[in-house]
Amino acid sequence: VQAVFRSNLSHLLDLMGSGKESLIFMKKRTKRLTAQWALAAQRLAQKLGATRRDQKQILVHIGFLTEESGDVFSPRVLKGGPLGEMVQWADILAALYVLGHGLRVTVSLKELQSNLGVPPGRGSCPLTMPLPFDLIYTDYHGLQQMKQHMGLSFKKYRCRIRVIDTFGTEPAYNHEEYATLHGYRTNWGYWNLNPKQFMTMFPHTPDNSFMGFVSEELNETEKQLIKGGKASNMAVVYGKEASIWKGKEKFLGILNKYMEIHGTVYYESQRPPEVPAFVKNHGLLPQPEFQQLLRKAKLFIGFGFPYEGPAPLEAIANGCIFLQSRFSPPHSSLNHEFFRGKPTSREVFSQHPYAENFIGKPHVWTVDYNNSEEFEAAIKAIMRTQVDPYLPYEYTCEGMLERIHAYIQHQDFCIAPGPALPGAHTPQSPFVLAPNATHLEWARNASLAPAAWPPARSLRAWLAAPGKACTDTCLDHGLICEPSFFPFLNSQDAFLKLQVPCDSTESEMNHLYPAFAQPGQECYLQKEPLLFSCAGSNSKYRRLCPCRDFRKGQVALCQGCL
Ligand code: UDP
């Protein structure tokens, strides 16, 4: 069956159920964004033309909202608790629905069981039963529940699962045996999924799929109106919880010399003691009123927490400049409580790395807050700087629809992955050394062009500098690491073509392989396909990195990827 774009979301609102504050928040958001989704669907339909889109049957099981996993979020929706997850789930549901797929939504174990055909009361169904869904979107909590309640069929069907995972899961943490042996400990378990089955809120590491969310878009008239109506001395502080203001008196004092400071901190009856009297605190605002506040403000300022939420993108989309602190040393699961136990070693160099690296100046200023002069100078410079509202394409409704469409049509983790070592499968290696002898390219005349996605012709392979990760190596060349290309490089032949002088070649399980170790001139190949990883580095190794191009503003997709 062909999928047909939908522009009326009222049936989706019914599917989402009711009762919980979290669902109420999500439904309000979906309703408010209906017109934007409809317009985006129209545009994407035009862009795709006659491209065939199969309709999938999709189950969305939002594990963290189930009572069985404690549902700690719903009671905090009106109290300044995290809303980013709910923003993202609301947008995922909207995107899947607008794309025209068959949708079921569950937020309790009972509903999950009835949709999976497990009789309620029975712990799990021991028999392998047919699964009525092509795809299941869930989170780590939901994954655990499915494992407990699907019996044997969990193993059979887990390739259909997509895990919404805000901060991402690196391959070294995903592979049970490897993680256990090498101390990649997590609170979230080891699932041996294809790392691309984990879908993140921002494009952290290309080892995972970037899911994202949307921010409200402005038309030209609105943009002009906003630019005219900005109060050049108005600042809004990022953060809904009072705790983020603790110990920030010095910065607030400096900022207060130049600007009127506004906050949206939740409070019960009186002003939270952490928020100084000179701050205009509006209390936690409904989302549309928060947007209105951002439209008037010049500056949106972060004090280090929360990490990587939607609000800075909304601020920038509404014409604010975002000022945030640089973290030096960077925060990570090794040194910060918040990230401890999360399945990633990613180092976070500022409160919002996406804003810093993908947007940057003039919209985003990342400065060292320990240096009061630098901080003060930034505020003064920001007050003089004019910016236009800006929203990266990948965070528009159209961008999100385009990306999810591409994933649904092209990502298939149920076909067995190729072997880590190509061996007999690549009688002739399909790439050649580029004319400037810096990297490998797909050979123009190579007959071997697998039907894989993304298309292998966009492969560019580089030997990283010692101690560099493939994520960074590719970015340094204006490209993005593409883990699905690793198998093409995992051969002696690749080293040979790159003129790497291997004295010997060994094949082992290591998330940094394929790589070349300078001392000893040894070349290492990857033995375990699940461990191919863009993330990760060690000064001992020069990694062999598969990169590809990407579209400006849509980093998940290569030029020929739709
Ligand atoms: N938000 C809101 N009212 C406010 C402040 C923020 O509704 O007073 C919304 C905001 O529009 C954003 C969401 O809260 O979409 C999550 O924002 P944040 O970046 O703070 O991430 P979180 O830590 O909540 O996940």
Tens digits of residue pLDDT in 151-202: 888 999 999 999 999 999 999 999 999 999 999 989 898 999 999 999 999 9
Q: How far does residue 9's CA lie from ligand 1's centre (Å)?
A: 23
**CA nearest neighbour of 443 among 456, 425, 424, 426:** 456
Q: Specify the pLDDT at position 95.
A: 98
Query: Is residue 364 within 8 Å of 382, Cβ to Cβ?
Result: no
CA 500 to CA 511: how far, in whole Å?
20
CA 237 to CA 226: how far, in whole Å?
19
Query: Is residue 211 within 8 Å of 92, Cβ to Cβ?
Result: yes
pLDDT of 369 strictly over 90 = yes
pLDDT of 415 strictly over 60 = yes
**CA nearest neighbour of 359 among 323, 404, 406:** 323
User: Residue with the nearest Cα to atom 1 of ligand 1?
Assistant: 287
**CA nearest neighbour of 244 among 333, 304, 313, 325:** 304
User: Residue with the nearest Cα to atom 3 of ligand 1?
Assistant: 285
Q: What values do phi and psi take at 526, rounded to 5?
A: -85, 130
Query: Is residue 385 within 8 Å of 362, Cβ to Cβ?
Result: yes
Query: What DSSP assignment string belongs to 235-294?
Result: EEES-SSGGGGTT-HHHHHHHHHHSEEEE----SSS--TTS-TTSEE--SPPHHHHHHHH
Q: Specify the pLDDT at position 520.
A: 87
Q: How far does residue 310's CA lie from ligand 1's centre (Å)?
A: 7
Q: How many residues are recorded in the chain?
A: 562
Q: How far does residue 449's CA lie from ligand 1's centre (Å)?
A: 45
**CA nearest neighbour of 510 among 496, 490, 524, 522:** 524
- In ligand 1, the atom with minimum distance to the C-alpha of 83 is 24
Mean pLDDT of the chain: 93
User: Is the CB of 170 inside a 6 Å radius of any atom of ligand 1?
Assistant: no
User: Residue with the nearest Cα to atom 12 of ligand 1?
Assistant: 311
User: Is the CB of 83 inside a 6 Å radius of any atom of ligand 1?
Assistant: yes
Q: How far does residue 1's CA lie from ligand 1's centre (Å)?
A: 38
**Helix extents (H) in 322-420:** 353-354, 372-384, 397-410
Q: How far does residue 230's CA lie from ligand 1's centre (Å)?
A: 21
User: Is the CB of 309 inside a 6 Å radius of any atom of ligand 1?
Assistant: yes
Whether residue 288 has a cis bond before it, omega within 30° of 0: no
Q: How far does residue 234's CA lie from ligand 1's centre (Å)?
A: 19
Q: How far does residue 85's CA lie from ligand 1's centre (Å)?
A: 10
pLDDT of 123 strictly over 90 = no
Specify the pTM.
Answer: 0.96
Q: Specify the pLDDT at position 424.
A: 40
User: Is the CB of 290 inside a 6 Å radius of any atom of ligand 1?
Assistant: yes
| Residue with token string 């699905």 | 484
Q: How far does residue 471's CA lie from ligand 1's centre (Å)?
A: 29
pLDDT of 425 strictly over 50 = no
**CA nearest neighbour of 321 among 255, 382, 258, 236:** 382
Q: What values do phi and psi take at 109, rounded to 5?
A: -65, -40
∠ Cα 555 162 40 (to 5°): 50
Instruction: For 256-298, write each residue's pLDDT tens digit.
Output: 999 999 999 999 988 899 999 999 999 999 999 999 999 999 9
pLDDT of 420 strictly over 70 = no
Q: Specify the pLDDT at position 151.
A: 80
pLDDT, average across residues 88-99: 98
User: Is the CB of 308 inside a 6 Å radius of any atom of ligand 1?
Assistant: no
Residue 184: which residues within 8 A CB-CB, separation 6 or more? 170, 172, 173, 178, 343, 345
Q: How far does residue 86's CA lie from ligand 1's centre (Å)?
A: 10
SS3 category, 466: coil
Q: How far does residue 330's CA lie from ligand 1's centre (Å)?
A: 24
**CA nearest neighbour of 237 among 254, 257, 273, 261:** 261
- In ligand 1, the atom with minimum distance to the C-alpha of 264 is 8
Q: How far does residue 274's CA lie from ligand 1's centre (Å)?
A: 19
Q: How far does residue 267's CA lie from ligand 1's centre (Å)?
A: 15
pLDDT of 70 strictly over 50 = yes
SS3 category, 296: helix
CA 273 to CA 526: how far, in whole Å?
55
pLDDT of 492 strictly over 80 = yes
Q: Specify the pLDDT at position 444.
A: 74
Query: Is residue 168 within 8 Å of 212, Cβ to Cβ?
Result: no
Q: How far does residue 307's CA lie from ligand 1's centre (Å)?
A: 12
User: Is the CB of 141 inside a 6 Å radius of any atom of ligand 1?
Assistant: no
Residue 120: which pLDDT band, with cuts at 50, 70 and 90?
Answer: low
240, 241, 244, best to mutate for ligand 1 pocket (most atoms within 8 Å of CB): 240
pLDDT of 427 strictly over 50 = no
Q: Calculate the alpha carbon distances from 437 to 375, 413, 433, 468 in Å.
A: 44, 35, 6, 20
User: Residue with the nearest Cα to atom 21 of ligand 1?
Assistant: 309
Residue 324: which pLDDT band, with cuts at 50, 70 and 90?
Answer: very high
User: Is the CB of 109 inside a 6 Å radius of any atom of ligand 1?
Assistant: no
User: Is the CB of 287 inside a 6 Å radius of any atom of ligand 1?
Assistant: yes
- Going by their DSSP bridges, the two strands 299-301 and 280-281 should be labelled as unpaired
Query: Is residue 239 within 8 Å of 305, Cβ to Cβ?
Result: yes
Q: Name the region of 138 (left: φ>0; alpha: ψ -120 to 50; beta: rest).
A: beta
25, 289, 290, best to mutate for ligand 1 pocket (most atoms within 8 Å of CB): 290
Q: How far does residue 82's CA lie from ligand 1's centre (Å)?
A: 7
Beta bridge mates, 156: none
Instruction: Indicate if ipTM > 0.95.
Output: yes
Residue 244: which residues within 8 A CB-CB, separation 6 or more? 238, 303, 304, 305, 306
Q: Name the region of 242 (left: φ>0; alpha: ψ -120 to 50; beta: rest).
A: alpha
User: Residue with the nearest Cα to atom 7 of ligand 1?
Assistant: 287
SS3 category, 180: helix
Q: Specify the pLDDT at position 453.
A: 87
Residue 45: which residues within 8 A CB-CB, separation 6 or more? 5
User: Is the CB of 87 inside a 6 Å radius of any atom of ligand 1?
Assistant: yes
Greater pLDDT, 446 or 312: 312
- In ligand 1, the atom with minimum distance to the C-alpha of 285 is 8
Q: Specify the pLDDT at position 117.
A: 82
pLDDT of 90 strictly over 60 = yes
User: Is the CB of 330 inside a 6 Å radius of any atom of ligand 1?
Assistant: no
pLDDT of 372 strictly over 90 = yes
- In ligand 1, the atom with minimum distance to the C-alpha of 85 is 25
CA 411 to CA 556: how far, in whole Å?
12
Q: What share of the chain in percent tops pLDDT 90?
A: 86
